[in-house]
Structure formats: C-alpha cells, structure tokens
Structure 1
Amino acid sequence: MMPGSAPPPAAGSGMFVPTQTAGTVLCCMCGVSMQPNPANMCARCLRARVDITEGVPRHAAVVYCPDCTSYLQPPRSWLRAGPESPELLQILLRRLKHPLARLRVSLSGAEFVFSEPHSKRLRLKLRLRREVLNGIVLEQTHPVEFTVHDRLCDSCARAQANPDQWVAVVQLRQHVPHRRTFLYLEQLLIKHGQAALAIRVASAPGGLDFFFGSRSHAARLVDFLGTVAPIQTNTAKQLVSHDTKSFIYNYKYTFSVEICPICREDLIALSPKASRDLGGLGPLVLCIKVTNAIALLDPLTLRVHHLEEKKYRVYNFKAALTSKQLVEYMVLDIEQESPEITVDGSRYQLAYAQVARMSDFGKNDTVFTVRTHLGHLLSPGDLALGYDLYGANMNDDDMDKALLRQTLPEVILVKKSYEKRPRTRRWKLKRLPIEEDLGNKAKGEEDKRADEYSKFILELERDPEMRFNVNLYKDEDYRSEMASTIGDDVPTVPIEELIEDLSLGDDEEDEEEEDSAPAGMVE
C-alpha cells in the first residue's frame, strides 16, 4: 500500500466494492460477443475459414502377413503387432509421419475406432494441432481409415512354397515314458514368445521339432531352454549349396537338445559314490523341482541339494520309480515329529503316519508306519500318493546297493491326493500349433495324451509355484451353474491369477468427434 493512501474497506462496512469482469469484444465477421483473441474472430467463423486437416490423407494402406501376424514397415522390415495394440498404433502413425511434417501439423492424440475384425479396415481418430492467423492454435479431430492388404512375408512365403525349406531345426527330446515335461515347456514357450518365430512345430517320437528360417532364431530357443531345464546340446551342419566365385556357402543347421530324464516326483536311488559326494544325502531322494538344476529332497531329513546338469552327467543316475507308479494310500493316523519349516521356498514338516493301501481295503489289514515330510498337509482320513517299496519289483543296481547299506522304508509318500470329481473350469490354456504325424501314431496314443493333459491341468491347480510360470486365461464359455460342487479342500485357481484373452471387437466404442476451436475455447 502506497504511503498516504486510504486502507481498503473492511468486510461488512457497507461500502460498494466493484467486481472485475472479463472483457468481451464483437466478432469482426458475425458480430457475436466473445472473449478477445489475436484474430478477433469467434470459433465458428475461424473454423469456417481455416481447415488444418486440409491435405492430411483420410485413406491409407498397410500390408499384413496373416501367417505370422506381422505388418510391413517399409521398405523391407516386418514388425509383429496384436490387434489394437500400442505397437500397431505406432506402425500406422509412421505411415502419416511425412504428410503431417510437410503440412506442419502436430499430433496431440490418437486412438483406435472400432471396426469389424473381418472388414480388413483399421480406423484411427487423430487429434491434430496447428498454429494459424496471428498465433491462434487450432485443434481438430481427423479420421483416417487404413485398408489392410494381405501378403505373406519373405519367411512365410518360403515356408508356404516349400515346408521343408528351413535353415535350422531344434530337435528337443527327453527319454521318458510320458510328455509332462513337454506340456510344461509348451506353456513356457507361449508365455515368453520363444516359439513365435518358428516356421512350424512338428511332433516326433520322444519330443518336438522346431523349424526356423534363421540360425539365430534356433540358437535363441536353445539358449532359452538352457535357462528352464537341464539340457545337453549337440550341433551339426550340412552343406546345401555354395558359390565358388563369391565364396557364399548355404548350410542347414541341426541343434540336438536332450533334456535330463529326471522329472518332478521321481524317486531316485543314489549310488554310494553319489551319496557320499552330495554330503551323505539319501540314499533315497525325491525330485521336487526341475529348472536349470535338479532339486533333490531327502524325505527323511528334509535336506535339499541342487544338482546342475554338468554334475548330473558325472553320476548319470536314472529314476528308480516314476510318477506313473504312484500308489494311493489312506492316512489312518498321523503324529507330528517336528515343527513346520520352509526349505527352498516350500513348506515341509516331518511326521509319522499310519497308512494303508486303498487296494487292500476289504482284502487284508496291512498297515504301514512311515516317516513323511507331508505332516503339514495330511490329516487322518486323507488320501495320499506314494511309492510302494514293500511290494515294488525294481531292477535297479543302485536300489540293490541301498538295500545292502541300510533298511529302506516300506512306503515313501509323495503328495496329497484329492477326490476326482468331473467339473468345468473357469480358465483355459493356449496350445502351440503342433503338426502330428498321424501315420506313425500308435494305437491308443490319443487317449494317452488326453489323460496326460488332464493330469497336467490338475497339477497346475495343486501347485501355485508352477502356475506362476504359466499364463492362465479366462474361459468365456464358462458358466458357474454348470460347475459341479467340489469340496473346500480341493485346490482351485483363484480368479485373480487369470488373464483376459485378447479378442478384437468385444466392446464397440463411440465415434463422437469434437468440434475444432481455438486453443483455450475448447473443453
């Protein structure tokens, strides 16, 4: 306040206080009252005389490969993108980059507008901005429609012309009588997109064959397999053709990948040398986890040892009993021996249990008292799966040596069993497009694979750690009233772990366009 000036009137003094209002002017074209701007024109008149979208194309074309779902990025690169994905939006906006730069129009926003999935049209709604008439900035929406032209990319065209025209193949094998490992690896490959570059995937005796159009793509798959499973790899190449003048050689590469034959829940009898080198582990151990190393658990002491693939090849032991030889038992009584502990991320508790084979009920009164690591899971009346060493007929040298060293338990329990009830599930899995050799398929192979797949589904429901590495998708056809009633203790998959399956055209968006006006006048 300046010296000598009067102080402002106090509130409630009764003096009149003028309020400040925004000044308005008349439009120089139509005379409408408006807020002043450098052009002295209202939004309607300015829009009628200036069109910032003039020269911006409303129609364009994009090339799409239907086999590998990739789009052509001129001049020769192909980029993979899903429907209405950020990657696809970036590809389409690149087609409009030069026209917008030539017209000095900036892009302030872009979004997809719904179009039918089979219409071969992609529609965008752009929001453009440009400075006009004495510094006035106009914003205006502009629709662009892209016509999708189908054309095979170079690698897919070669594969269609000759399916055997591959450059590298990965022959993945495991010498076990089941396909549990390949069902799990299939989900890992889908989640991480490692098999997306394969020209085709073919079923083979004992495994799968992945054909690639580039050696680097096959090598990438082999590197990924080495991080998720203990493997042994051999490589070979065969000369196809060469040019003596330019010294250009064309080869076909073969990667032979063998997965360790030890699987989860296998019972292993360690040799005296292996048991001694592993710190007195065993001699009977269970395989509880298989990653790039094998996790072996002594069920009587809760000791765990991780065996890498190179060290496994030194001992090269086999599974004495596999999961196909599990026997179902009824738990009659159980007594905890020690408190519950966590070993290698999993919970265990030593306990003594009295069990009887389900097949013996009504025939004899044979009861076994065993020591188990499942004391935290089992209660009297529960069912459990285990290995019957009392009546098993095994032809294993290491098992015979173990019998000479000490008295082995009559039963080794492996996991809790749940009552089998048919029910529908609210989730589903994606599968790889595997080519089956129908001519060489054995009789009953289809039923065997269906049974293995159903057991794999049950294993996913039971093991949360296993589900963590797999993508489970919501089944849109699931109806809760069709699901049968199951017990409270039967494991199920929480709905929070499910992923929405991407589908185009589920919800139709509104196509309202906003009127263009000077910046500061548009909401």
Structure 2
Amino acid sequence: MAGEAGMFTVQQTVGSVLCCKCGILMAPNAANMCVKCLRSEVDITEGLQKHVIIIHCPECDSYLQPPRTWLKAQLESKELLTFCVKRLKNLNKVRLIHAEFIWTEPHSKRIKVKLRVQKEVLNGAVLEQAYMVEYVVQDQMCDSCSRVQANPDQWVAAVQLRQHVSHRRTFFYLEQLILKHDAAVRAIRIKQMDRGIDFFFSNRSHAIKFVEFIQKVVPIKSRNDKQLVSHDTKSNNYNYKYTFSVEICPICREDLVCLPPKLASSLGNLGPLVLCMKISNSIALLDPSTLRHCFLDAEQYWRTSFTSLLSSKQLVEYVVLDVDLVSSEVNIGGSKYVLADVQVARVSDFGKNDTMFLVRTHLGHLLNAGDYALGYDLNAANNNDTEIDKYKGLVIPEVILVKKSYEETRQKKRGKPRAWKLKNLEMEVDGGETRGRVDEEKMVNEYEQFLRDLEENPELRFNISLFRDKDYQPSEMASVTDGEDVPLVPLEELIDELSLNDKKNDDDDDDDGGMEE
C-alpha cells in the first residue's frame, strides 16, 4: 500500500512544466513547448496538397483513377472518400488519423475533405493537426460513354440469345436472373428480338463475362465470330466487331419429352416418356410413372439433342375423381413427390359423357378428389416425333398429369391486384407496326402465366427478387386470401424496393456529418 501511494505521489510531482517560449504551465513533452508555440514553429501540413483536380464522367457517374481506370462512386460515399485520399501525393510523410467530407453544394463542382494527421517533430514530440483539401471536379466523358454519345450503335461485341420455341417463358425467367445478379450492367443497349434478346457491349471481355453467366444458369451452346471494321496500316492496329451466338436448349419446364433410344439406354432405360421438371445449368427429367429421374448437363444434351413431344401450351384441364396413393413421399432434387393412381376426366367432357382415365402420377401429395389438374392428352394429341416410333411395343399412357390447376379458383379473383411486382430490363423492341397488337397480347398472356408459375412454385422464385408493390392496398389482402385455395407469395419473401440514389438525395439535408475511412 505504501509503495502504491509513493508511486501516486511521484506522478503528482512531475505533472506539469513551463513552456520554454511563452512560460505557460503545460504537460511535459519532448520539445518542452506548448501546442500553440509548437504549431507556430512547425507546420506538419507544409508540402501536402491542398488543391487537387479530379476528372468526373457525368454520364456514368465515375471518376478517373489515372492512368485509364474509371471508378464508380456516389457523392459522400466510402468509395469516393478512399479515392480522394489516394489522389493526394506526399501523404505518406505523415500519419493519417481521420478523414471526413465537409458538405458542399452538389452543383458547385467542389468536394472538400477534412483530414487529421500526425507527425513526429522536435525531439520526438508528436503533433496532430487538421487541414482541408479542396477537390475541383472537372467533367469529361469516359471512353465508353463518349463512344456511345458519338454513335449509340457503335458496339464492339454483341451477344445474341436465342431459343427456338413458341413462347418467351424462358426469357422472362432469365431476365429476372440477369437483374438480380446485375449481369447486364455493362450492356450499352438491349434489344428484344422475335425469338430472343440481343445484348450489345462496348468491350469484348464484358460480352464474354455475360456469356459465362448465361452458361451457369441455363444449358446453352455458343459460337463466336469477328468481323474486321478498320485497319491502321501505319500502327498495324485492327478493329473488330465480335458476335456471340448463344442458343438455349429448346426443352422447357413442364415439357413432355420422348428420349432417343441410345440416350434412354445410357440412362439405365429411363422413360422413354419423361417430364422436364426443372431447368438450370442442367435439365432435370422425371419419369412420372416410376419417379426415376436424371440430370442432363449442356454437353450431354447437345451430344444427342432432342425436342419436346408436347409443350405447356398443349396442356388439357382434368378433374380428379379419385386418388389412391401407391408410394410414400420421395425427395428428388429438393422437390417432394408421391406416386399415386388417379382417376380423372376431361373438364370439357365432364357432364357430357362418362369418359374417364386411370393414370399413374407423381402428384399424389397435391391431388385430392375434386381438385383440378393439367396434363397431356396423349390419346387425342397429334404428334409427329420420330423418336417415339423407334420404340416397338411401347405402351403409351392415355394421360400424363403435369401439375395441379388453380384455374377455377383464379376465375373468382380475376383482376385482383398482386402484393408484389418484378423489375424489368430496359429493352428496345424490334419489329414494325404490323407485328404490334397480336404479339403484344400474346406477350401479356405469357407474362401472366409466368407470374402464376412464380406463385405456384417456390423453387422457381428461389433465385428471383420479388418487390413489394407500393400501390397495393393492404386492406384488400383479406378479401384476396380468405377462403381461397390459390398459392400466394408469402410477404416475408418480398423485398422493399429502394433506390439508393433517391435515398441519398433525400438524406443529404439531414446528414451534415462526414464519413470516416
């Protein structure tokens, strides 16, 4: 205790000294000089830049990081603060403690940053000092923006996405994946074509990166070509335009497929009549009568390519009369199926005749007597697929059910708004006035079917961002959901739509403070 008291007394006795210049009482330091006198003697910010010119592209809101890199950054963001600090020369002579923005009028073309630095001066004393740097913003368009402004059609690389089917459901789904992952953020123009979409890029590497993204989400095959645009004989420089032709596998979800004999044999005599249950970078095929399944990747598909026997446009509505479960629940690729023998009748025949069908289906977990289901009527379907003729003695079922139908219930709530919405790519539409009305009506119907598929299939919306509709009235929710047997998107899956730019502008007046690095 006595030792501790002694230490405490010693600290008190050497608590202060006199400044060697002005004689003021002060805490001791290596220079024996008060802070005011020390600053009058030494300016640690001397030689540091106080004025800097930075180049800003007003079109894409990016800043030039010499020699040729352009960095995207919002006003008063961490990225812009880091960029501004890195532009200062000789800052390594001092130690940076803190940096923050000083508010300036957004249109003043001035950015002010307050820096706090430390440096060792006079016999090892550490002096801390704050100073301000003013950045003068000069507008100059970056290379890609200037090319676009000079000629909007001046692209370097084009990606032509095509799928040879009669509907656009695949492109609706692909559009949402592209938006979620910002895969087309580098595209200078997007054009909607008859059976696909064209993406135009100002750089070949951007097009290659986009094709690689598409390859990860759908089965494709691609080829690329280049065309000489100009040649400078003096510098021996060549300018090319590159075109990437990407063909998406024509098999779509819910399609009925007859596998070629060689492929069916290599898959352990699967099928041969199988349903396509899911499309990702591979094709998920399921035999609805046995629950046997397989996954074909792009290479396997294009090696022995085949087409659909029947597509979702040829689905027929049936009413379920009786359900007899055959197997317990089976999990295949994350989806649940139950094998069942189901007695069905066509809705169009119901009440007119006694035609009934007994079918084995994978939908035993969903169907009950009185429900409606959509399926393929193979008894009445007219198909000219040569693959099915190669199987001798093949017993073709009269009906293959594909999914549960909610059409009857939807009739009651037709016209009711949804609590959610999707974003869309900004696309130009290719085509003249003659193609307008019919195609537009077909597109609206296909898009509505796509929205219904999202409601009915949680797996389908797993990789898609659904946003809350601000115009939707919550009071209507009860009338939409009460007593209805229609799948709806849970509210917890919805994302509040937020524009960061708008939010930043709204908060500018409230947020006067700076941001630390």
- State the TM bucket, normalised to the shorter chain: 0.7 to 0.9
**Contact residue 165 and residue 195 of structure 2 kept, 8 A:** yes
1:201 maps to 2:195: no
Identify the residue that residue 343 of structure 2 maps to in structure 1.
354
Identify the residue that residue 141 of structure 2 maps to in structure 1.
152
Deviation at 1:266, TM superposition (A): 0.9
Q: Aligned Cα RMSD in Å?
A: 3.9
* Structure 2 residue matching 1:164: 3-state secondary structure: coil
CA-to-partner distance for each residue in 1:358-403, whole Å, 9 max, x for gaps?
4445545554432221222334444433223344333433455669
Distance (Å, rounded) in 2 between the aligned partners of 1:51 and 1:428:
59
For 1:314-463, what aligned pairs fall within 5 Å after superposition? 314-361=303-350, 363-364=352-353, 366-399=355-388, 405-415=394-404, 417=406, 419-420=409-410, 421=413, 427-437=420-430, 439=432, 441-463=435-457
1:168 maps to 2:157: yes
* Structure 2 residue matching 1:72: 3-state secondary structure: strand
Identify the residue that residue 4 of structure 1 maps to in structure 2.
none
Identify the residue that residue 254 of structure 1 maps to in structure 2.
243
Q: Closer, same or farther in 2 for the Cα pair 1:172/1:52, shift >3 Å?
A: same
Pick aligned residue for 1:485 from 480, 490, 494: 480
**Contact residue 288 and residue 297 of structure 1 kept, 8 A:** yes
Identify the residue that residue 216 of structure 2 maps to in structure 1.
227
Distance (Å, rounded) in 1 between the aligned partners of 2:374 and 2:44:
74
Q: Closer, same or farther in 2 for the Cα pair 1:183/1:53, shift >3 Å?
A: farther
* Structure 1 residue matching 2:447: 3-state secondary structure: helix
Amino acid at match of 1:79: L
**Contact residue 359 and residue 397 of structure 2 kept, 8 A:** no
Distance (Å, rounded) in 2 between the aligned partners of 1:124 and 1:480:
46
Deviation at 1:135, TM superposition (A): 4.1
**Contact residue 385 and residue 417 of structure 1 kept, 8 A:** no
Distance (Å, rounded) in 1 between the aligned partners of 2:237 and 2:514:
58
Q: Closer, same or farther in 2 for the Cα pair 1:317/1:74, shift >3 Å?
A: same
Structure 2: which 5+ residue stretches go unaligned? none
Distance (Å, rounded) in 2 between the aligned partners of 1:374 and 1:267:
16
Deviation at 1:98, TM superposition (A): 0.8
Distance (Å, rounded) in 1 between the aligned partners of 2:72 and 2:212:
22
Amino acid at match of 1:502: L
**Contact residue 336 and residue 350 of structure 1 kept, 8 A:** yes
Identify the residue that residue 174 of structure 2 maps to in structure 1.
185
Deviation at 1:138, TM superposition (A): 4.9
Distance (Å, rounded) in 1 between the aligned partners of 2:167 and 2:279:
16
Distance (Å, rounded) in 2 between the aligned partners of 1:426 and 1:56:
57
**Contact residue 114 and residue 132 of structure 2 kept, 8 A:** yes
**Contact residue 361 and residue 400 of structure 2 kept, 8 A:** no
For 1:35-114, what aligned pairs fall within 5 Å after superposition? 36-38=28-30, 60-81=52-73, 86-95=78-87, 97-98=88-89, 100-101=91-92, 104-111=93-100
CA-to-partner distance for each residue in 1:77-115, whole Å, 9 max, x for gaps?
2234456554443323222x31533xx332234456777
1:511 maps to 2:512: yes
Distance (Å, rounded) in 1 between the aligned partners of 2:366 and 2:113:
56
Deviation at 1:463, TM superposition (A): 3.5
**Contact residue 466 and residue 493 of structure 2 kept, 8 A:** no
CA-to-partner distance for each residue in 1:131-159, whole Å, 9 max, x for gaps?
45654445566565655544321122122
Distance (Å, rounded) in 2 between the aligned partners of 1:470 and 1:490:
17
* Structure 1 residue matching 2:158: 3-state secondary structure: strand
Identify the residue that residue 285 of structure 1 maps to in structure 2.
274
**Contact residue 387 and residue 414 of structure 1 kept, 8 A:** no
* Structure 1 residue matching 2:505: 3-state secondary structure: coil
Task: Tell me which moved more, 421-430 or 295-304.
Answer: 421-430
For 1:296-311, what aligned pairs fall within 5 Å after superposition? 296-311=285-300
Deviation at 1:413, TM superposition (A): 2.5
Distance (Å, rounded) in 1 between the aligned partners of 2:302 and 2:204:
27
**Contact residue 461 and residue 493 of structure 1 kept, 8 A:** no
* Structure 1 residue matching 2:84: 3-state secondary structure: helix
**Contact residue 250 and residue 307 of structure 2 kept, 8 A:** yes
Amino acid at match of 2:143: D
Distance (Å, rounded) in 1 between the aligned partners of 2:422 and 2:218:
21
* Structure 2 residue matching 1:301: 3-state secondary structure: coil
**Contact residue 377 and residue 416 of structure 1 kept, 8 A:** no
* Structure 2 residue matching 1:220: 3-state secondary structure: helix
Amino acid at match of 2:500: L
CA-to-partner distance for each residue in 1:157-183, whole Å, 9 max, x for gaps?
122212332222222111111112222
Q: Closer, same or farther in 2 for the Cα pair 1:374/1:108, shift >3 Å?
A: farther
**Contact residue 406 and residue 486 of structure 2 kept, 8 A:** no
Q: Closer, same or farther in 2 for the Cα pair 1:327/1:80, shift >3 Å?
A: farther
Task: Tell me which moved more, 411-420 or 211-220.
Answer: 411-420
**Contact residue 69 and residue 80 of structure 1 kept, 8 A:** yes
Amino acid at match of 1:491: L
Identify the residue that residue 498 of structure 1 maps to in structure 2.
495
Distance (Å, rounded) in 2 between the aligned partners of 1:132 and 1:479:
67
Distance (Å, rounded) in 1 between the aligned partners of 2:229 and 2:69:
26
Q: Closer, same or farther in 2 for the Cα pair 1:316/1:491, shift >3 Å?
A: same
Q: Closer, same or farther in 2 for the Cα pair 1:42/1:293, shift >3 Å?
A: same
Structure 1: which 5+ residue stretches go unaligned? 1-6, 10-16, 515-523
CA-to-partner distance for each residue in 1:213-252, whole Å, 9 max, x for gaps?
3333323322332222222222222222334455433332
Distance (Å, rounded) in 2 between the aligned partners of 1:256 and 1:428:
31
Q: Closer, same or farther in 2 for the Cα pair 1:42/1:247, shift >3 Å?
A: closer
Q: Closer, same or farther in 2 for the Cα pair 1:136/1:245, shift >3 Å?
A: closer
Identify the residue that residue 16 of structure 2 maps to in structure 1.
25
Q: Closer, same or farther in 2 for the Cα pair 1:442/1:496, shift >3 Å?
A: closer
CA-to-partner distance for each residue in 1:37-67, whole Å, 9 max, x for gaps?
5566777887898776677666655433344
Amino acid at match of 1:77: T
* Structure 2 residue matching 1:445: 3-state secondary structure: helix
Q: Closer, same or farther in 2 for the Cα pair 1:187/1:25, shift >3 Å?
A: same
Report the TM-score when normalising by structure 1: 0.80
Amino acid at match of 1:230: P
Q: Closer, same or farther in 2 for the Cα pair 1:47/1:259, shift >3 Å?
A: same
Identify the residue that residue 520 of structure 1 maps to in structure 2.
none
**Contact residue 274 and residue 286 of structure 2 kept, 8 A:** yes
Identify the residue that residue 258 of structure 2 maps to in structure 1.
269
Task: Tell me which moved more, 297-306 or 119-128.
Answer: 119-128
